[in-house]
Amino acid sequence: MQSFSANQVLLGDCRSVLHTLPEESIACCITDPPYNYEFIGRKWNHNEITRRIDRIQDSSTLVKNIPYGSGLAGGVRNKRWYERNRENIVDYQKWCVEWGRSVFRVCRPGAIVAVFSSTRTFAHVQVALEEAGFYARDCLVYRRHSGIPKGLNLKKKLEKLGRADAEQWDGWHTCFRSEWEAIAVLQKPLVNNYIETTEKTGLGPFKTINKDGSFQSNILEGFSKGAEESFNTHCTIKPLGLIRRLIEFFVPKNPHNIILDPFAGSGTTLVAARELGYSYIGIEIENVYIRLINKRLADVESGGLFPFFEDAV
């Protein structure tokens, strides 16, 4: 394997930057790319994130840190509306195939790719990464006690329109309250079987027995942002403890195992990796977030925010 310097945060589009990494150099990819609804009619960047957050600061929206204003909820449901949404899905899936193929090239056999996605998009992500060469293993459920905007309350809408039949639609809405996100779990094909793969690459199986002896469920809950993460204003941050848990599931302790996040955002995957004693490579397209990532990583190295880092092996 060609040597290269790990523990870097690289600026750029991951589809290009990943070509600079050596083949089969990565032990695991844990990432949270933009979701499908974030692509509709807008460029997904820092300015767009700010625009959507600003739109809901004084609203009654249930969760104020979920990207908002994508266009999926509004508009007349005519033929063109459905065509436009389908075109968006196709474009999104093609985009996932593009970066998925680059991730596939740099992963070692047996490496896991764990990709956060919404309930609307995880099927497309899984199919795209299968097309890129990965094998689908599972879909983890990250349960969070929150929800996106509630959609249309049909009774209230009909009351505003003066409809006499409004009461019969009491309790009818246009969506469920959302309190979970998907984590698509895929794997680069093994070298014949798990034994040969672990001998060659040190990867393949999952660590699924918990400290209390119980077998780990594929529903993950009880994670929330800690006080040390309160400074983080990135709109789609995942709890640090959740990412640490995923790393522990998928990556054996070994100094040669490098964790990749091609959509580094505020750097939570990289921080979790470093806390646990792993090396990392992060890629982020927005320079403003790289400054935040580097600050968080510096705090890990100094022990300023994460005193338990010294106990990591």
User: Is the predicted pLDDT of residue 190 greater than 70, yes or no?
Assistant: yes
pTM given for the model: 0.84
Any idea what DSSP says for residue 283?
Answer: E
User: Is the predicted pLDDT of residue 146 greater than 60, yes or no?
Assistant: yes
Helical H segments across 22-131, by residue range:
46-55, 79-106, 122-131
Pairwise CA distance, residues 73 & 152, whole Å: 9
Residue recorded with tokens 């790319």: 33
pLDDT digit string, tens, across residues 55-108: 545 554 433 444 444 445 567 889 998 898 888 899 999 999 999 999 999 999
> What's the pLDDT score for residue 68?
42
At 78, which amino acid appears?
Answer: N
136 SS3 class: strand
Helix (H) or strand (E) holding 113: strand 107-117
Structure token digits, residue 313: 């092996």
223 SS3 class: coil
Sign of CA dihedral 125, 126, 130, 136: positive
- Where does the pLDDT of residue 152 fall: very low under 50, low under 70, confident under 90, or very high at 90 and above? confident
293 SS3 class: helix
> What's the pLDDT score for residue 33?
93
Class of CATH domain 8-35+103-144+179-307: alpha beta
Q: Are 102 and 19 in contact (CB under 8 A)?
A: yes
> What's the pLDDT score for residue 250?
98
